[in-house]
Structure 1
Amino acid sequence: MSADLRTAEKFLQAEGRLLERRLFEVLFRDGPPQGVVDVLRGYRNADGGFGHGLEPDKRCPASLPVDVEVAFQALAAIGSRELLGPACDYLTGVSTGGAVPLAFPVIEGYPRAAHWTGWTYEPGVNPTAGLAGLLHRLDFPHPWRDAATEYLWETIESGKLSDETHGLNEVLTFLAYVPDRDRASRAAPAVLARITTSPLFQTMPKPGEYGLTPLTVAPLADSPWRNLLDEAQLDAHLEQLAADQQEDGGWPVPWEPPSQASLLEWRGIVTLQAVRTLTSYGKM
């Protein structure tokens, strides 16, 4: 089964927010990358961080590390280093020993999904590893990146990593792009093994159920950890991903966002990711 690119594009045009529409233009229609940067400027705050629900599960305007990570993901997708310096300065100001939390209690004054509670205020590998990994991917040096890298290596190699599945997946992002490739290659199999044995990991598709999958680990065909995954499992998830396209051209969201606006924003995000994944693997 194959999904349809044109109906996915129509869904994004009708329901997606401007960021995903601009990213689609750059990635699939040779659009100008500057358009993505211009959209991200609208989510910036005076402290250099990003907020305003850039990650749509909380509608808080204040800068949050998780929103900075979403901005870094968009910049990495287009290969731009704009806006990174002030954002890293912001991360320096909210870090503890190089680590940052996902969010802060300020989110409690705004609508948010039920899972955004106190656990998100603890500094840790989620999102520190993802942020540092993306900075390495973009080859952007900064003192915060260095402090975060030191914290992450110490956490990974000392056996202090928790079993929290999303955090482990963030660690794989760090290991995918950190310059010390021998060190990263030695560490990655054990991290991946902990992900794939988690109850949250779906070795085979469970339609409509939230979880991490082989496509979370290797969202693109050239993902560095693809060779550590079972190809049959990857193929099964690719078939399911293609089958999950809805009649309106978009993909569903298997969790409960805090509002209808948030739901549509998330559908745009997961639709763009589905298109990127399926196109990369030659399934669209």
Structure 2
Amino acid sequence: MLTGNQYQQIRSWIYRNARPLDMARWNYHFEGGTADDVIRILESFQNKDGGFGHALEADCWNPNSSPLQTWWAIQFLKEIGLRDSSHPMIKSIMKYLASGDGMAKGRWQFSVPSNNDYPRAPWWSYSEADENPGYNPSAALAGFMIKNGEKGSDEFKIGFDIAGEAVEIFLNRNESTEMHELRCFIELYEYLVELDMNSVVDIEAFRKRLIDQVNCTIEKDISKWAAEYCCKPSHLFRKPDSIFFKGNEKLMEEELRFITDSLSDEGSWAVTWEWGDYEREFAVSRRWWQANIGIQNLVLLRDFGRLKY
């Protein structure tokens, strides 16, 4: 259980270091702030084409729109419970995703060429390999398009076609799925279940395959969690009612304990990766990530009944 004193340490750290977006998220979760406050600040990261950039994902300082930065915006909208398909921000995101910008071979790209013009982590550098994209973030974005597009519309068809292809490939591939791509398949599954699309894909087979992949992907060697960027349970599920919680109860218990034990004296958590280049910019991004990690950790502890404040 995180104590009240520890909560106050984290709160003070957030107040000193968080950028306005994360401050609004903090207020939304813990201090009576509104979803509109988050949306108002999130708008400053959105471009005229409807996509998002401007280091919304803190490891890439490209101001131009990209599918991955836009995926991050969708995560924040989900976090604050915005589900209205007619909302102007959702409609503009749909317009961007349907435009074909940031797509190659019928999928949204993980990285875009203009990333190379700005400070970034090495994994955000664009190369020719990005012209043959996988399903990070395409699987999740396809689900978003189906959820928010009118049946028969171009947006709905784009999402529907990508989703169908994604599920078929996922069910028939022999190799394991990388954890970020797996998270996108989980999001697609959740959209399809919400929309009751059992007749479109084999939801039961999809569910069983996802459970198998989640169980294989979570890093079970707890000693690696502090030193490496690896897949902890919360990377793939964050609620006790998740279909992935059963069988992983002890690992989630270990993660909740790990979160409490690894809190620094100043009220923050360490970032377990580095860029290698752009040291000055990464020093800024590190703080942004710490704020995000702090909010995510407290929400996780709260949802599992481990937070007093």
Q: TM-score, normalised by structure 2?
A: 0.82
| Whole-angstrom CA distance in 2 between matches of 1:165 and 1:197 | 10
Q: Counterparts of 1:116-131 in structure 2 under 5 Å?
A: 116-117=124-125, 118=127, 119-120=129-130, 122-131=132-141
Asked if 1:164 is matched to 2:164, the reply is no
| Whole-angstrom CA distance in 2 between matches of 1:67 and 1:7 | 30
Gaps of 5+ in 1: none
Q: Counterparts of 1:1-284 in structure 2 under 5 Å?
A: 2=2, 4-80=6-82, 81=84, 82=87, 83-92=89-98, 93-94=100-101, 95-96=103-104, 98-117=106-125, 118=127, 119-120=129-130, 122-134=132-144, 139-141=147-149, 142-143=155-156, 144-159=158-173, 163-178=177-192, 179-180=195-196, 183-198=202-217, 201-205=218-222, 206=224, 207-227=226-246, 229-257=247-275, 258=278, 259-284=282-307
C-alpha deviation, 1:77, in angstroms: 0.9
CA contact under 8 A between 2:227 and 2:272: conserved in structure 1? yes
Tell me which amino acid in the other structure corresponds to 1:202.
E
Structure 1 residues 45 and 282, CA, compared in 2 at 3 Å: closer, same or farther? same
| Whole-angstrom CA distance in 2 between matches of 1:107 and 1:211 | 24
Matched residue of 2:33: which SS?
A: coil
C-alpha deviation, 1:225, in angstroms: 2.4
| Whole-angstrom CA distance in 2 between matches of 1:216 and 1:282 | 18
**CA-to-aligned-CA distance 1:200-256 (integer Å, 9 cap, x gap):** x412422232101122121233334223x3211111111101112111212111111
| Whole-angstrom CA distance in 1 between matches of 2:197 and 2:13 | 40
CA contact under 8 A between 1:56 and 1:262: conserved in structure 2? yes
C-alpha deviation, 1:97, in angstroms: 6.0
C-alpha deviation, 1:166, in angstroms: 1.8
C-alpha deviation, 1:195, in angstroms: 4.2
Tell me which amino acid in the other structure corresponds to 1:250.
S
Tell me which amino acid in the other structure corresponds to 2:94.
C
| Whole-angstrom CA distance in 2 between matches of 1:222 and 1:131 | 24
Moved more, 126-135 or 209-218: 126-135
Bigger Cα Rg = 2
| Whole-angstrom CA distance in 1 between matches of 2:203 and 2:220 | 24
Aligned identity (percent) is: 24
Cα-Cα RMSD: 2.3
Gaps of 5+ in 2: 150-154
Structure 1 residues 99 and 214, CA, compared in 2 at 3 Å: closer, same or farther? same
C-alpha deviation, 1:35, in angstroms: 0.8
Matched residue of 1:278: which SS?
A: helix
Number of residue equivalences: 279
Structure 1 residues 263 and 121, CA, compared in 2 at 3 Å: closer, same or farther? farther
CA contact under 8 A between 2:105 and 2:132: conserved in structure 1? no
Q: TM-score, normalised by structure 1?
A: 0.88
C-alpha deviation, 1:281, in angstroms: 0.6
| Whole-angstrom CA distance in 2 between matches of 1:252 and 1:121 | 34
